[in-house]
Amino acid sequence: MKKLTLTLCLTLCVTMVVAITPREQDAFKNGFKTGLAMFEFQLQNEGVTVREAPFSVSDYVVYATTTKMPMAEILYLQFMANRDNFETLLTKDELVFGRFARQADAEDAVKQIAKNYNITAKIAKGQTFYVHPILAQKAYDMFIREARENGNLIYTDKLTKTRYVAQTSNNNQGFGSGVKSFRLKNALTQSYILQEENAVNSASFVEYKVIKGKMRYGKEKVIVTNEGEVFIKAKGKNLYFSSEDVEEDSK
């Protein structure tokens, strides 16, 4: 019976290979090359983490909303636009086609986008965009998570040395036991969400979005991970901040 099953599997595999025509093979190769090109583009131009796009308040930014588009279609559109000399950036919900100093140039770009790609682009001025490199960030996060879990590296982006934190019963380690609220130190702060409830590993805290402004939050608790990182939980929310990015709020 095992020999029969193996024979059937091999026959099916051979049939599938033979059924692929040279044209289909070329299409697959071209698609594969396009995917690699997009990954390389994101590494070089968009980085691996969320960041604010380098636009000024006087720029006319041309973008298209991508919330209803499949990811493959978004990436292919970005590839085509780059080939047509648009300076694209990918955000969570938009594909940015570039910034222009003159409104007339931005309007010409909108017309060109509609003609070439059959989509409706918009113009924004003074709006903040955050680069969201989907392909590169997923690969980067996976690499960092696996490396940290396997003990193959010391991740210095958040933690530069081992911390010793005194254990207390009220779970407010290292942040003042009487503090009921906190505020963000900087104008832009990376926030995190916890993937698994009651998780104690740093890898369980996933980058969520960049918070703009020195916002104030109620403090629910402090979590110290097995790796020694300290996260502050906003009260009533699945929202966390590194202790290095916050300060006690006495108000």
CA distance 161 to 155: 10
Q: For a pLDDT cut of 90, what percent of the chain falls above it?
A: 18
Question: CB-based contacts of 210: which residues, under 8 Å, 6+ apart?
Answer: 50, 51, 52, 130, 188, 189, 190, 191
CA distance 115 to 108: 11
Residue 159 pLDDT class (50, 70, 90 cuts): very low
Q: Computed from CA positions of residues 213, 214, 216, 220, in that sequence, does the dihedral angle turn out positive or negative?
A: positive
Tokens of 242: 């590194």
Q: What's the Cα-to-Cα distance from 90 to each of 46, 73, 75, 131, rounded to whole Å?
A: 8, 13, 9, 6
Find out whether 112 and 51 touch, Cβ atoms under 8 Å. Answer: no
The one-letter code for the residue type at 100 is: F
- Residue 62 β-bridge partners: 98, 123
Residue 214, pLDDT > 80, answer: yes
Greater confidence (154 vs 191) lies with 191
- Quick: pLDDT tens for 47-72: 556 677 778 888 999 999 998 998 88
Q: What is the mean pLDDT of the chain?
A: 73
pLDDT of residue 194: 83
Residue 201 pLDDT class (50, 70, 90 cuts): confident
pLDDT of residue 244: 87
Spans of all domains in the chain: 37-134, 154-248
Query: 37-134 has which fold?
Result: Alpha-Beta Plaits (3.30.70)
